[in-house]
Homo-oligomer: A and B are copies of this chain.
Amino acid sequence: MQQLIRGIHQFQTEDFRPLATLFEQLAERQSPETLFITCSDSRIDPNLLTRSRPGDLFILRNAGNIIPLAGGTTSGEVATIEYAVGALGVKDIIVCGHTHCGAMKGLLHPESLTELPAVAGWLEHAATTRRIVTDHYGHLPEDRKLVAAIEENVLVQLEHLRTLPVVASRLRRGDLHLHGWVYKIETGEVFAYDLETQAFVAIAEHAVNGDAEGARRRAATGI
């Protein structure tokens, strides 16, 4: 805590000055172009890994980068997405999973969650991920199965995203694009789901990957 306080002090005395004009403008209004949905994991810093500045990314984070379906009680996830699309008019939505995800480990090992009943309940929103991994990757060794779960979960949550009224309607108009990413902590690489090859492929500067809207998933082998 002491360290965070010191950090705030340093931010104010050293970092804020050059950003002062930006922040003054932003105080008037934000107009981010991208909604970035990722895990709460402390090892992910969306602004760092995309070199974004304040005002660039509207960010939604929870354990497992999960998006509950809209059919039940209104969730913070659905509300936040509705706000980003309906009120702020973002143009791109990125769902970004990551390697070594604790939530995905829990999904594959429900027996480890007896002391974490709320986590267990929450992961039911990734039941489709679990079923796909069980049905199609059951033969893989543990670490490969985890990678499969991480990748498949990004695709499953994109499907959930598509069912939101405001998202579904904007997709029809063609001015909203969905992207499925996986961040590899140990190398700093980012993989994007590629519709052509139906696999996650490393993002390279010259090859911007198309959106994953119509994603039909067959393979999941990139990482």
B-binding residues in A (CB < 8 A)? 1-2, 4-12, 15-16, 19-20, 23-24, 26-27, 29-30, 32-34, 40-45, 47-52, 54-63, 66, 68-84, 86-87, 91-92, 94, 99-100, 102-103, 115-119, 121-125, 127-128, 130-132, 135-136, 156, 159-160, 162-166, 168-169, 172-173, 177, 179, 185-190, 203-205, 208, 213-214, 216-218
Contacts and interface: CB of A to CB of B under 8 A. Distances in A.
Contact of A119 (B83, B186, B204): B83
B26 A185 contact: yes
A81 B62 CA distance: 9
B128 A165 contact: yes
A208 B5 contact: yes
A154 to B, nearest CB: 14
Contacts of A72: 69, 71-73
Contact of A116 (B45, B62, B87): B87
A70 B198 CA distance: 26
B40 A60 contact: yes
A47 B45 contact: yes
A223 to B, nearest CB: 13
State how many copies of this chain the complex holds: 6
A77 B60 CA distance: 11
A99 B26 CA distance: 11
B7 A52 contact: yes
Contacts of A188: 11-12, 16, 19-20, 23
Contact of A79 (B7, B47, B59, B63): B63
